Amino acid sequence: MSQQLVNTHHIYHGFWVFSIMGVFAALFPEPSAFWGWVLLGSLIVSGIWSGIGYYKRLDRRLKWRVIYGIVHFDLFSGYAAVIAWRGNGETFLGALLFFVPIILAGWIGHRYRQRILSEILEPRS
């Protein structure tokens, strides 16, 4: 069985996409040291994870690419929710409105992860 080598390094662009959204979350509507530190922490962890993945060529594994992509999309969505929440006055109701759907989507994704993975690998619809 021959395996075709494919350049999968484009997966590492997820790091830059979420980090740009994180910068906006830390600065909008006014600068916040707390969100700046949260962004710095997530950049460090993601940078180490990306470096290990690149060094060990983990991006050639489908499972690793899927998990890496989902985590970075979740970070992007989380920072987008922070921007919306902070822009709307940082109220409790706003937090429920912006963060509960993300948490619920994460729970559903975890709960049905086998079905989702099988649909990704062999689409039936």
pLDDT tens, residue by residue, 37-61: 999 999 999 999 999 998 998 888 8
Domain count, the chain: 1
Looking at the domain assignment, is residue 1 inside a domain? no
pTM here? 0.82
Kindly provide the b/e burial profile for residues 49-58, where b requires at least 16 CB atoms within 10 angstroms of the residue's own CB.
ebeebeeeeb
- Determine, yes or no, domain membership for 76: yes
**Residue 109: inside a domain, yes or no?**
yes
Structural domain of 23: 9-121
**Whether 52 contacts 58, CB under 8 Å:** yes
Return d(Cα 21, Cα 5) in angstroms, integer: 32
* Whether the Cβ atoms of residue 78 and residue 24 lie closer than 8 Å to each other: no
Q: What CA–CA distance (Å, rounded) separates 38 from 121?
A: 34
| pLDDT, tens digit, 9 for 90 and up, residues 101-124 | 999 998 998 899 889 888 877 888
Does residue 3 lie within any of the structural domains? no
